[in-house]
Structure 1
Amino acid sequence: MTLLSKLLALFPGLVVTLALICFIAWVMTQDWWWLILLILTIYGLPLLTYRIHQLFYPLQPGFSYLVGKQYSPWWGTYQIQLIYSAFPALERLLHFVPGLFSLWLRLWGSTIGQKVLWTPSIQILDRGMLHIGNQVIFGHQVTFVGHAIKPKQHNLLLYVDRITVGNNVFISAEVGLSPGVAIADGSYIPFGKKIFPRQKVGPEK
């Protein structure tokens, strides 16, 4: 593990610590600036760090190895986003404002179309690896995972790729979408279906 990998492993704890400091200061002082700083810490700091990280270590689709002397950009992006996996309620709050969750994903680098319906229980592990079309509906507990890892040759082989969903697609509850998946326009994905990496799915005839 490189020095940068070790430093970014501390990032989730840093965000939580700063958020707690802001919250305690707000409670004690009742100063609204601390509340604003709290919101910026939770939502702005990880996003800004991710965008800076992308400038120097862009996350590229493809295969690589996790173990070794070479830094893995995916590892860094995973640590930066970890707080939202640990505390999913943080992103669920964004669903109360129409269109805000789609905007949130666009800020991370994803392409999101118009009239996309997200249920609050959506789980996304790689926020910058989505390409979603127009008029798409996602059911309860749909999971997006833009990476896959498996042991290979005494190492860990990492595959990273975008998840592509076309226009006018309905994805039922508890569907799992993997890296490299491409779902064609007009498709219907039934309840609980797991779509494995690099699969192409067309509309049922």
Structure 2
Amino acid sequence: MKDQTPAKPDAFQLSLLYFPLLYLLGGGFILWHLQGLAAGVMFALGWIYLLPPLLCRLVLALFGKPLTRDALPQSRSFRIWWFLTQLQMLFNRIGVLEELLRLVPGLYGSWLTLWGSKVSPFSFWARDILVSERYLLRVEAGALIASQAGLAGHIVNLDDQGRHHLLVAPIVVERGAILGIRSGLGPGCRVGPGEMLPAGRMLPPFSCWRNGRKQPCPH
């Protein structure tokens, strides 16, 4: 009989859970000691919006994107993905930070590009959108992402031994495509040019939406 006890996270995974809080506290500590309103505002904006994506780009340059179809927690790909996930956690927890960027047309797409994605500044993003891998998107000009849509470039599954298996792949939304309200794309998904993914429709990993229907994507 196989052991059904779930695998426990290691020290690396557990320690990184504190990274977002320590990052926020570290920024607050430095801000407290700065002199002048202008210097404080510039530092806060850079600490929150620029340093995380720049650190992400550094990690990607050194180790590459953690693309994988079946990575275990002890693998290199899983560890890179886990670190990049914690690097984005501040924006996952405090959604208003991204909403402020969306007030300025084109700014949010440019910011996602800074993370390592390729997002046209001429794409439109509504409110309450979930993006889990900000470095793994390609969103072309004229694309429209409706409210509460989700773009999740990863999935973690459990096997019968309680081990986690990670799947990570890019997401593509082509020119003029529309993601309906509460629709969702999994890793490796693609929505074709000018297509509309209906409201509430969820595409499983490596699915394409073309000619108004779901099709398998090559992978």
On whether the aligned pair clears a TM of 0.5, the verdict is yes
CA deviations on 1:1-46 (whole Å, 9 max, x unpaired) are: 66654554332112210233355456xx553212211111111221
Equivalent residue, structure 1, for 2:167: 159
Which has the larger displacement, 86-95 or 17-26?
A: 17-26
Which runs of 5 or more residues in structure 1 are unaligned?
none
Equivalent residue, structure 2, for 1:95: 102
Query: Structure 2: how far apart are the matches of 1:73 and 1:82?
Result: 14
2:97 alignment partner, SS class: helix
Say if 2:66 is the partner of 1:60: yes
Which has the larger displacement, 163-172 or 110-119?
A: 110-119
Q: Which of 47, 51, 54 is 1:45 aligned to?
A: 51
Matches within 5 A, 1:21-170: 21-22=29-30, 24-25=32-33, 30-68=36-74, 70=76, 72-113=79-120, 115-154=122-161, 155-170=163-178
Say if 2:186 is the partner of 1:178: yes
1:72 alignment partner, SS class: helix
Q: 1:123 touches 1:142 (CA, 8 Å); kept in 2? A: yes
Which has the larger displacement, 100-109 or 147-156?
A: 147-156
Say if 2:198 is the partner of 1:187: no
Equivalent residue, structure 2, for 1:20: 28
Q: Post-superposition shift, 1:77?
A: 0.7
CA deviations on 1:125-175 (whole Å, 9 max, x unpaired) are: 100111112211111111111000101252111000001111121211111
Change over 3 Å in CA distance of 1:54–1:69 after alignment to 2: closer
Q: 1:22 touches 1:38 (CA, 8 Å); kept in 2? A: no
1:134 alignment partner, SS class: coil
Q: Count matched residues.
A: 203
TM-score by length of structure 1 reads 0.88
- Please tell me the root mean square deviation across aligned C-alpha atoms, in Å: 2.2
Q: Post-superposition shift, 1:107?
A: 0.6
Q: 1:181 touches 1:196 (CA, 8 Å); kept in 2? A: yes
Query: Structure 2: how far apart are the matches of 1:136 and 1:39?
Result: 28
Which has the larger displacement, 73-82 or 110-119?
A: 110-119
CA deviations on 1:97-121 (whole Å, 9 max, x unpaired) are: 1110010011111112352111132
Which residue identity is paired with 2:74?
G
Which runs of 5 or more residues in structure 2 are unaligned?
1-8, 214-219
